[in-house]
Every structure is written in C-alpha cells, then in structure tokens.
Amino acid sequence: MQIEENTAPTIAGKPADAAANEPTRGASIVRDIAETIALFLVVFTLSQVFLGNFMIEQVSAVPNFMPGERILVDKVLYKATGLHRGDMIVGKWPNDSTDVFKRVIGLPGERVEIRDNHVLINGKPIEEPYLLAPDAVAGTRSFEHAWVLGPDEYFVMGDNRMYSGDSRSRGPMKAEDIVGRAWLRYWPLSKLLLIPGVDYGN
C-alpha cells in the first residue's frame, strides 16, 4: 500500500521570486531618481557655462527689443564663429558693471565714420534695415565722427539711436568686455524669436 507523505499547506502570499525582486525594484527607482537629478545638474551647469539669461532694461533697442523682454545669450560658441555686423550683443563698458544691449556695427580693423547722417564702414555707407527711424542715425551723441578699430575692438550702437549711449560717446567696446551674442528672445512667449543676423546686401 502506498502511503502519501503529509505536506505542509502552502501559505498564501507573495511568490518567493516577487518578494526577492522587491528590494531590487526599490533600488532601481532610487537609482533612476539619482540619475535624473544628476542629469539635471549637468544640464543646468552646462547651461550656465554656455548660456546667459539677460533681461533688457534700457530703451536703446526700442522698438525692436523692449524693456522687460528676456533673452538667452551665447557666451561661448560665438568665440569660435566670430561676431558679425548686425549681431546683437550683451557687453559692459570699462569700469561699469552694468550690462548693455547693443548691435555690432564695426568690426576689428575697420574704419567707422558717421557722416551726412549715415554710418560708413571703410568709406562706404551701410543700409540698416532694422532702423525704423533712419533719420536718427547721426552722431549727435558723439564727440568724434570717425574711429579706426583695433584688432580686438568693436563699434556698437543701439537701434534707438537718439536714446542710446554707445560707441559714439563711449568709444569702441573691447572683445574682453563682450559677455556674449544674443541668441534667443524667450519672453514674452508671444515674441519668441531666434535672433537673426542681418543682411547688409554685401
């Protein structure tokens, strides 16, 4: 006669493999959170190195750029590609910690002249399509009417010429005093814009 062995009743509960996997699943969640935080910190750090956040406070670029608007500034890549005429930049004047928002007009080595209410580069007048009031180009705020730029100097002006303290009165801006090139206007959202270069028809 075959005698069946008594076996202990199975206690209902979580399968052994599920119970064993529970700590592993918890560790995976913690690791995912840690990796997300680490990635955020890396992105944030890189953004601080490569980009700057700037709020326009002056009226020197009205109406193309208004006080209160916010832009992102490329602080690194422009050094590899170089600045171009028409670029909008954030910079500082010597012995002044205030950020200023201006447009690059003259490049290193060029002769910039204001004559007959026009800006001339190396003796040739340039057309400035971003000026809504072209009659306001004259150098009424300057003490000189011609500048020869050094190898690390830029002539910068505001678009709102009659209300802009710029290279006409301050002189050229040194490359070392340029914070970066304006890249993106992100606020207000209704004016979201990649800030373009300018075609001078050359």
For residue range 168-177, what is the model confidence (pLDDT) as tens digits?
989 999 999 9
List Cβ neighbours of 96 (8 Å cut-off, separation of 6 or more): none
Q: Please choose, from the candidates 164, 140, 141, 149, the residue with its C-alpha nearest in 3D space to the C-alpha of residue 88.
A: 164
Q: Could you tell me where the beta strands, DSSP code E, fall in the chain?
A: 51-55, 70-74, 88-91, 100-106, 111-115, 118-121, 124-125, 146-148, 153-157, 173-174, 178-187, 193-194
Q: Check pLDDT > 90 for residue 115.
A: no
% of the chain surpassing 70 pLDDT? 76
Provide the whole-model pTM. Answer: 0.75
Task: Give me the mean pLDDT over the 80-95 stretch.
Answer: 95
In this structure, the dihedral spanned by the alpha carbons of residues 50, 55, 58 and 60, taken in order and rounded to 10 degrees, is 50
Q: Is 174 one of the catalytic residues?
A: no
Of the residues 14, 28, 47, 60, only one is catalytic, namely 60
Of the residues 75, 102, 164, 167, only one is catalytic, namely 102
Q: Please choose, from the candidates 62, 63, 149, the residue with its C-alpha nearest in 3D space to the C-alpha of residue 104.
A: 149
Q: Is 60 one of the catalytic residues?
A: yes
Position 30 scores a pLDDT of: 80
Task: Give me the mean pLDDT over the 67-80 stretch.
Answer: 94
Give the chain's radius of gyration (CA, Å): 30
CATH of span 53-194: 2.10.109.10
